Structure 1
Amino acid sequence: MWILPLVGYLGSVMGFAFMTLAIASGLYYLSELVEEHTVIAKRFLSKLIYSIMGLQLLLCVVDRFPFFLTVLGIFSHFIYLGNMRRFPFVKLTDPLFLASCALVLINHYVWFKHFSHHQERAYQNVSYYDTPDDIPTFTEIASYFGLCVWLVPFALFVSLSASDNVLPTIGSGSDFSSSSSATSNGSSKKRGQGMAKALVDSVLNTIADVGKMTGLKKPEDRL
């Protein structure tokens, strides 16, 4: 067969493109939603962080999850909570923000190693064709990673805005006066833009620039 494999490759590429577009559209919509309802989003994220910390503690007590990894997970969410003090704005050079980025990767690595080692040790005591009863299923592991490892960092990524877009405050001196005069002249205020929204916009602008370089133009540019 020659044609069918090519059809399979073409379908895979198109499916990946549509999935990427759907994820980008969802991120853009969620970022817009958070910008319009920042107070509700802050309350929701704070309660979500506390709920996941309680869930991790419950898993440690009831299901005998490793104590030190549980402490690491709870400590990580406590650091994530520190990013809420100036919600939705955050400085990209803030130590708490940088520590949060590092803890996301550390948590993913240590929990992946834990589940992998647990499965390897369980299969050593049974036959190759038998399935151990004391190991979590793929659905359970994926759900744990989705809820307890990635959910809060992903929600913060969608919700937080880069502080470079924050309006100048009273202590900014001349910047504040110029901003006030611009606003009094009828220009719109500049609000903080979500990091996810800014990422999607930058990707779209890059695609547009590449299209212009290759000779492609938008329909309105052809008029």
Structure 2
Amino acid sequence: MWILPLVGYLGSIVGFGFMTLAIASGLYYLSELVEEHTVIAKRFLSKLIYSIMVLQLLLCFVDGFPFFLTLLGIFSHVIYLGNMRRFPFVKLTDPLFLSSCALVLVNHYVWFKHFSHHQERAYQNVSYYETPDNIPTFTEIASYFGLCVWLVPFALFVSLSASDNVLPTMGNESVGSSSADGNGGRRRGGGGMFKTLVDGVLGWFGQASAMVGLKRPEDRL
């Protein structure tokens, strides 16, 4: 068979593309939702951080997870909690934000090494045809990474805004800060980090298409 494998590869690429677009659209919607309900989002993220810290303690004392790695995970979530002090606004040069980014990578590396080493030792004590007991399955490992390692940093990335909300004063206007909308109210400056990133990518594609001679649908009217 020659054509069917090609069809399989093409279908996989198309399916992956649709899945990526669906995830990006959902995250974009969540970013807008957080901008509209910042108080509720702050309460939810704070309770989520405390819940994951309690979950890590339970895994340590009940399931025998390593104490120092658990302590590292709890310390990381304490640092994540520090980003909530000015939620949803953050400075990209803030030491707490930079520490959070570094701790995400460190936690991913140390827990990946832990689970890999644990499974390697378990398979060394049994024969090739036997399945070792008391080792976490792929679903359990993926769930731990998703909930205890990635969930809070990813939620903060979607929720935090890329610029400060600076209200203009009399005789002083700040570029990129809050401005008055058409109804005379205040409109926040800046936007979610994920939303800003997506808008930037879309703007880049728009400029690239304009350079090669492609026109947007509204420009053709």
> Shared fold (TM-score greater than 0.5)?
yes
On the 8 A contact 1:83/1:90 being kept in 2, the answer is yes
Aligned partners of 1:18 and 1:122: how far apart in 2?
39
On the 8 A contact 2:181/2:187 being kept in 1, the answer is no
CA root-mean-square deviation: 2.1
**Higher RCO (CA < 8 A, seq sep 6+):** 1
Aligned partners of 2:94 and 2:37: how far apart in 1?
24
Q: Report the counterpart of residue 217 of structure 2 in structure 1.
A: 219
- Closer, same or farther: CA 173–82 of 1 in aligned 2, 3 Å: farther
Shift of 1:173: 7.5
3-state SS of 1:92 partner: coil
Higher helix share: 1
Structure 2 residue identity aligned to 1:204:
L
Aligned partners of 1:75 and 1:169: how far apart in 2?
37
Q: Report the counterpart of residue 32 of structure 1 in structure 2.
A: 32
Q: Report the counterpart of residue 153 of structure 1 in structure 2.
A: 153
Shift of 1:184: 8.7
3-state SS of 2:85 partner: coil
TM-score by length of 2: 0.92
Give structure 1 stretches of 5+ with no counterpart. Answer: none
Q: Report the counterpart of residue 198 of structure 1 in structure 2.
A: 196
On the 8 A contact 1:162/1:194 being kept in 2, the answer is yes
Q: Report the counterpart of residue 93 of structure 1 in structure 2.
A: 93
* Identity score, percent: 80
Structure 1 residue identity aligned to 2:140:
E
Structure 1 residue identity aligned to 2:130:
D
3-state SS of 1:49 partner: helix
Aligned partners of 1:158 and 1:197: how far apart in 2?
8
Aligned partners of 1:72 and 1:139: how far apart in 2?
23
Give structure 2 stretches of 5+ with no counterpart. Answer: none
Moved over 4 A (4+): 184-188
TM-score by length of 1: 0.91
On the 8 A contact 1:89/1:192 being kept in 2, the answer is no
Aligned partners of 2:203 and 2:186: how far apart in 1?
23
3-state SS of 1:162 partner: coil
On the 8 A contact 2:31/2:158 being kept in 1, the answer is yes
Q: Report the counterpart of residue 80 of structure 2 in structure 1.
A: 80
Deviations 1:105-131 (A, max 9, x none): 000000000000000000000011111
Q: Report the counterpart of residue 173 of structure 2 in structure 1.
A: 175
Within 5 Å, which residues of 2 pair with 1:27-176? 27-164=27-164, 166-168=165-167, 174-175=172-173
